[in-house]
Chains A and B, each alone.
Chain A
Amino acid sequence: MASGNSETINLDTLSAQQLSQVKKQLDEELEHLTSSFTQLHAAQSKFRDCLRCVQDKNKSPALRENNSILVPLTNSLYVRGTLSDASHVVVDIGTGFYVEKDIKSAAAFYENKVGELGASIKDLEAIVQGKTNNLRVVEEGIINSMRS
């Protein structure tokens, strides 16, 4: 969200105080980005779990037709049931909307989500890398300015 500021400033022209301010800002940005990074990873692994459940080869046993399952009515109360239709699932697509899909397109949906998040993670990784580099340069600048 921080706009890419392409302005370059020669670090030698900054005082130690200014440098430490820059460092502080970079630290904050980095912290924010890293937490986004973990969140993205968590989201991706959630989608991956969903994908695993609907994929053919290691389909969740609960998704087998005529298989006996327990349906939770409350946290502590269950009733026994059997699945009459194991070829369709209802997928949460966000903002309170759900779509009833067949297993195949549900898997495609989750694959897509995992892929999208993977791309975002990659982008973010590059940004984090760049920021870390910037931080290192600024830290070197601080050390240098303290020596001189």
Chain B
Amino acid sequence: MAEIQARLQSLSEEFTKFQQELQTAVQSRQKLEAQKQENANVQKEFERLKDGENIYKLVGPVLLKQDKIEAESTVNGRLEFIGKELERTEDQIKDLQEKIEKKKGEIIQAQAGLQAGGGAPGKVAAKG
């Protein structure tokens, strides 16, 4: 009885830990999406660039003139990096979601075991 309760306790702790991890992963995905959007906009703007329009890059407090090719490759590099990061976070999120589902199942099982063991089942946090 106490054994199952202790197990349930540790399970729900793990569950909340996974949920927190999921939340941070979702947040970082959101941030990456925003960065991707911003960089894509800059890339589009470079494509629309007309002759005689100069590109400057903000370095600290000053604007430095920069080649179009150089600036383009910077942005392309960023987009590539962000794309990879996005993929990685996406995988992480999927992985965490699976883990959470599994833990949920385990918690339900443990609760059922507790109920079968008699006594009023103390409601241990198992809310999705």
- Taken together as a complex, chains A and B put the C-alpha atoms of A109 and B30 apart, in Å, by 26
Check: A143 CB closer than 8 A to any chain B CB: no
Instruction: Give A94-110 interface residues, CB cut-off 8 Å to B.
Output: 94-102, 105, 109
A83 to B50, CA, bound (A): 24
**Of all chain B residues, which has the CB nearest A100?**
B54
Instruction: Give the distance to chain A from B100, nearest Cβ to Cβ, in Å.
Output: 16
How many residues on the A side are at the interface (Cβ–Cβ under 8 A)? Answer: 14
Give chain A's interface secondary structure class.
strand
Beta-carbon contacts under 8 Å, B75-103 to A: 75, 78
Contact A95 B75, CB 8 Å, known A90-B63, A101-B53, A109-B45: yes
Contacts of A94 in B (CB 8 A): 38-39, 41-42, 45
Q: List B residues at the A interface (Cβ < 8 Å).
A: 30, 33, 35, 38-39, 41-42, 45, 49-50, 53-59, 63, 71, 75, 78
Query: A residues engaging B (CB < 8 A)?
Result: 1, 90, 93-102, 105, 109
